[in-house]
Amino acid sequence: MLTNLINGISLGSVYAIIALGYTMVYGIAKMLNFAHGDVIMIGGYAAFCTATYWNWPPAFAVLFAIVVCTALGIIIEKLAYKPLREATSLAVLITAIGVSYFLQNSALLIWSSNPKSFPNMISIPSITVGSAQISGTAIVTILANIVIMIALTIFTSKTKVGKAMRAVSEDKGAAQLMGINVNQTISLTFAIGSGLAAIAGVLLCSAYPTLMPTTGAMPGIKAFTAAVFGGIGSIPGAMIGGVLLGIIEIFGKAYISTQLSDAIVFAVLIIVLIVKPTGLLGKPVREKV
């Protein structure tokens, strides 16, 4: 029971970190960035390469993955999304899908479709609490989640750039009139989201150590669900949504059916959305005629 709970929170923390990327980008650019899951995969491969081919120490490997993903996020934003700022949301969505295909197939060409086994980067011994054993990976994941959450909250509420981000997400036009560089702020959001994706990639691959070009796809969709679950656009919402989703998934696997666990996760999402159409912490949008 306790083991399942800890595993659920640990998996949920990974979802939460990915969901933060979705939710921040959605909040600011009002776009569903379907390529986010593949940025996670690239982050995983970047860490994998540095750690196994070049024998870098884990900390540097993670740092390298973050740098790669941040750069990738900025490049994707500049090349593919920025020209479409004024386009319909469906056009941006399809472009994001194109980027997702592009990343997956590039990875397929570079690293082939054979699964790579991810090296163990987290060398912390597991702890035994009562009857439950908590793995080092789970501890690090949960801690990373808490640290990121606190850092992001402080960043968005205290710093000037963070405040600018919130302003842009509320009203782009007004923010521009107040002298905020909207384009730069959006790029920054993408950079932060992609950097977080790199961390999520490393944590995900540490917990499930097989790395394939499609590794990011399913966690990406689930994290997106988590973001919607908590109310898309809301940072604490992404956190709560992610952790709850992880717990539901692990408990569904343990007590109901392994094969149907995904169906259970999505069914819970649907029930939540039917009861609360904008997610757990989402603000209801008032329509004006």
CA contacts within 13 A on the Cβ side of 23: 32
C-alpha–C-alpha distance, residues 93 and 81, integer Å: 10
Q: Residue 228: phi, psi to the nearest 5?
A: -70, -40
Kindly tell me which of 62 and 228 has the beta carbon lying closer to other proteins: 228
Residue given tokens 């570079």 in the structure block: 110
65 in Cβ contact with 39 (< 8 Å) = no
Q: Does 210 bind other proteins (CB under 8 A)?
A: no
| Number of other residues whose CB lies within 10 A of the CB of residue 119 | 15
Q: How far is CA 21 from the centre of its chain?
A: 5
C-alpha–C-alpha distance, residues 186 and 63, integer Å: 23
> How far apart are CB 92 and other proteins at their closest, in Å?
8
Q: Does 263 bind other proteins (CB under 8 A)?
A: yes
> How far apart are CB 102 and other proteins at their closest, in Å?
4
Which of 9, 19, 32, 41 binds other proteins (CB under 8 A)? It is: 32
Q: Does 183 bind other proteins (CB under 8 A)?
A: no
Contact range with other proteins by CB under 8 A, out of 1-9, 170-178, 179-187, 265-273: 265-273
> How far apart are CB 26 and other proteins at their closest, in Å?
8
Q: Does 57 bind other proteins (CB under 8 A)?
A: no
Kindly tell me which of 71 and 260 has the beta carbon lying closer to other proteins: 260
Strands 210-211 and 127-129: unpaired
Contacts to other proteins from residues 99-138, by CB under 8 A: 99, 101-102, 105-106, 108-109
Spatial CB neighbours of 25, under 8 Å, sequence gap ≥ 6: 31, 33, 36, 189, 190, 193
> How far apart are CB 115 and other proteins at their closest, in Å?
17
Contact range with other proteins by CB under 8 A, out of 13-21, 169-177, 218-226, 244-252: 218-226
Contact range with other proteins by CB under 8 A, out of 12-20, 64-72, 81-89, 239-247: 81-89
Q: Does 215 bind other proteins (CB under 8 A)?
A: no
C-alpha–C-alpha distance, residues 40 and 212, integer Å: 11
The sign one gets for the Cα dihedral 22, 26, 32, 33 is negative
Kindly tell me which of 86 and 131 has the beta carbon lying closer to other proteins: 86
| Number of other residues whose CB lies within 10 A of the CB of residue 242 | 32
> How far apart are CB 218 and other proteins at their closest, in Å?
9
The sign one gets for the Cα dihedral 101, 107, 110, 114 is negative
Q: Which residues bind other proteins (CB under 8 A)?
A: 26, 32, 80, 83-84, 86-91, 93-95, 97-99, 101-102, 105-106, 108-109, 217, 221, 224-225, 228, 232, 257, 259-260, 262-263, 266-267, 269-270, 273-274, 277-279, 287, 289
